């Protein structure tokens, strides 16, 4: 996109920059919905102001209820890898919907999506469909506990695995500390069964097993951490976790709710060449509809009811509309060059942000893996949550506000990854970086 077109697009975004209808919608929502939103980060709590209320999306762009247009890097928090309102996905949903919306009984499309997942991920021999990432991780942990007869779970600080009780723990001090409840309503006894270690710290994980020998059922890990920005695994970290689980008789769970089919055709496990025992999937596998899954080795999955004795059920699991959207999405991702394009766009955006920050004299660290990216107002390197927490939050807030005013929609949190879709063109990246250069010059004035 040439500079004249970029400036014209920015002028249009700023000219329509009033958000009074969104503010009114937020006020109305707060009268009947806790906090006015159905998921906390949507409330703009860490950036101030009122959230955007979205009316529609198409391709790489969204429009709010005031008519403002934005290039979108949230993508419904990751599922919309093809972009908003992709015609193939919409057609698949419409065609399926003609036959009904839900049956509470098996349908053939469930098998087709399960087969597609198993073909793509050699570690997954059988897969169970569920309705959310939280349900997938909760069920995988129950399976690991039932299979091993152990109770403790090892997770890593800053990795989010949904809001089930045992995983809502705050970061402890020291190495491999016991978890403490991260929310009222979480029993301390439950949180105490969750052991934490710093991300990318293999030695801390080993120390946890030494402290609780024969008690840890599983390690659950985001193979690329996406809830402290975008933090890739350091060389040897995932391989070391695999070896540690093998030596200790524990189950290795990859939480690929975010990275699944997002960072490569074989997900993160294919990208890094490490095979987990269980995999949790979500977001992309639902194609924008509520769907998730967990799967893995035959000897583990045969323990799930009704084949086995470990119970898990769900009324809307395998919902045909969600299965249709997910299957259509995965089929589109099989087209040659899809992941190369995603990787190129994400890398171009991350490197462009880094270059613009360097020019403005602003300390910034960026990263990208496949179709996800992240940045932090911190000189880096960032390897764990403690590093990510050094982010200059005032600078992030100023940057977020300037980007939004310039027609760029980023996650309203300094600790969330961003997402590029196949609908993002080079012109969209160029426009984004043009707005970012001006925003970073404003950020440079904050000390």
Q: Are residues 249 and 230 in the same domain?
A: yes
Please confirm, yes or no, whether 415 is among the known catalytic residues: no
Which of 279, 308, 333 corresponds to the end of one domain? Answer: 333
Q: Are residues 34 and 15 in the same domain?
A: yes
Residues with Cβ within 8 Å of residue 39, at least 6 apart in sequence: none
Find tokens 């997954």 and name the residue: 124
CA dist list (Å): 330 to 61, 109, 185 = 21, 13, 38
Q: Which of 66, 70, 283, 339 is catalytic?
A: 283
Q: Are residues 256 and 323 in the same domain?
A: yes
Give CA–CA dist 141/153, Å, rounded: 8
Q: Are residues 271 and 353 in the same domain?
A: no
Q: Are residues 100 and 209 in the same domain?
A: yes
What range does the domain containing 365 cover? 3-80+339-443
What per-residue confidence (pLDDT) applies to 45? 86
Q: Are residues 124 and 62 in the same domain?
A: no
How, if at all, do strands 292-296 and 126-130 pair? antiparallel
Task: Provide the CATH number for the domain around residue 219.
Answer: 3.40.640.10
pLDDT tens for residues 70-115?
Answer: 999 999 999 999 999 999 999 999 999 999 999 999 999 999 999 9
What per-residue confidence (pLDDT) applies to 72? 98
Q: Are residues 142 and 263 in the same domain?
A: yes
Q: Which two tokens stand for residue 385?
A: 């949550």
What per-residue confidence (pLDDT) applies to 7? 52
Q: Are residues 294 and 351 in the same domain?
A: no
Which of 310, 333, 356 corresponds to the end of one domain? Answer: 333
Q: Which of 70, 73, 147, 160 is catalytic?
A: 160
Q: Are residues 51 and 187 in the same domain?
A: no
Q: Which of 255, 277, 387, 428 is catalytic?
A: 255
Q: Are residues 384 and 409 in the same domain?
A: yes
Q: Considering only CA atoms, which of 419, 386, 382 is closest in space to residue 232?
A: 382
Please confirm, yes or no, whether 160 is among the known catalytic residues: yes
Q: Are residues 210 and 314 in the same domain?
A: yes
Please confirm, yes or no, whether 147 is among the known catalytic residues: no
Please count the structural domains in the chain.
Answer: 2
CA dist list (Å): 39 to 33, 58, 65, 195, 331 = 10, 23, 19, 26, 30
What per-residue confidence (pLDDT) applies to 166? 83
By residue count, the chain amounts to: 447
Which of 303, 333, 363 corresponds to the end of one domain? Answer: 333
What per-residue confidence (pLDDT) applies to 17? 65
Q: Are residues 310 and 325 in the same domain?
A: yes
Please answer whether residues 192 and 378 qualify as being in contact, where contact means their C-beta atoms are separated by less than 8 angstroms. Answer: no
Task: Provide the CATH number for the domain around residue 345.
Answer: 3.90.1150.10
* Binned average pLDDT, 10 residues per bin, the chain of 447 residues: 50 61 97 95 89 98 98 98 98 98 97 98 98 97 98 95 80 38 78 93 97 97 95 98 98 98 98 98 98 98 98 97 98 98 98 98 98 96 94 96 98 95 98 98 94
Query: What is the four-CA torsion angle of 425, 427, 429, 434, rounded to 10 degrees?
Result: -170
């Amino acid at each position: 996109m040439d500079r004249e077109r970029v400036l014209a697009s920015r002028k249009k975004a700023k000219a329509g920059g009033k958000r009074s209808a969104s503010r009114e919608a937020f006020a109305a929502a707060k009268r009947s919905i806790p906090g006015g939103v159905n998921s906390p980060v949507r409330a703009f709590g860490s950036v101030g102001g009122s959230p955007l209320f979205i009316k529609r999306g198409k391709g790489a762009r969204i429009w709010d209820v005031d008519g403002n247009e934005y290039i979108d890097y949230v993508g419904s928090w990751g599922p919309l890898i093809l972009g908003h309102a992709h015609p193939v996905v919409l057609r698949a949903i419409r065609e399926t919907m003609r036959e009904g919306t839900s049956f509470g009984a098996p349908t053939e499309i469930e098998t087709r999506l399960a087969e597609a997942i198993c073909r793509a991920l050699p570690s997954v021999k059988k897969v169970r469909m569920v309705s959310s990432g939280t349900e997938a991780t909760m069920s995988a942990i129950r399976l690991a506990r039932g299979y091993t007869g152990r109770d403790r779970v090892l997770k890593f600080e800053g990795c989010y695995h949904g809001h089930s009780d045992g995983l809502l723990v705050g970061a402890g001090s020291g190495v491999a500390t016991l978890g403490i409840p991260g929310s009222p309503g979480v029993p301390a006894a439950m949180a105490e069964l969750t052991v934490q270690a710093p991300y990318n710290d293999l030695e801390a994980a080993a120390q946890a097993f030494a402290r609780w020998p024969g008690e840890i059922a599983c390690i659950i890990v985001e193979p690329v951490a996406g809830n402290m920005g975008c933090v890739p695994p350091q060389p040897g970290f995932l391989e070391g976790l695999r070896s540690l689980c093998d030596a200790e008789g524990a189950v290795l769970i990859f939480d690929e709710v975010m990275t699944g089919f997002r960072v490569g055709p074989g997900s993160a496990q294919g990208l890094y060449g490490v095979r987990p025992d269980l995999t949790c999937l979500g977001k992309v596998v639902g194609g924008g509809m509520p769907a998730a899954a967990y799967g893995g080795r035959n000897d583990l999955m045969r323990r799930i009811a009704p084949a086995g004795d470990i119970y898990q059920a769900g009324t809307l699991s395998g919902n045909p509309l969600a299965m249709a959207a997910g299957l259509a999405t995965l089929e589109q991702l099989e087209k040659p060059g899809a992941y190369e394009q995603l990787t190129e766009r994400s890398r171009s955006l991350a490197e462009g942000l880094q270059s613009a920050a360097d020019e403005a004299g602003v300390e910034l660290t960026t990263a990208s893996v496949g179709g996800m990216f992240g940045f932090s107002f911190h000189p880096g390197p960032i390897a764990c949550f403690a590093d990510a927490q050094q982010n200059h939050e005032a600078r992030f807030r100023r940057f977020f506000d300037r980007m939004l005013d310039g027609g760029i929609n980023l996650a309203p949190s300094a600790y969330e990854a961003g997402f590029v879709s196949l609908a993002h063109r080079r012109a969209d990246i160029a426009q984004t970086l043009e707005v970012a250069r001006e925003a970073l010059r404003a950020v440079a004035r904050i000390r």
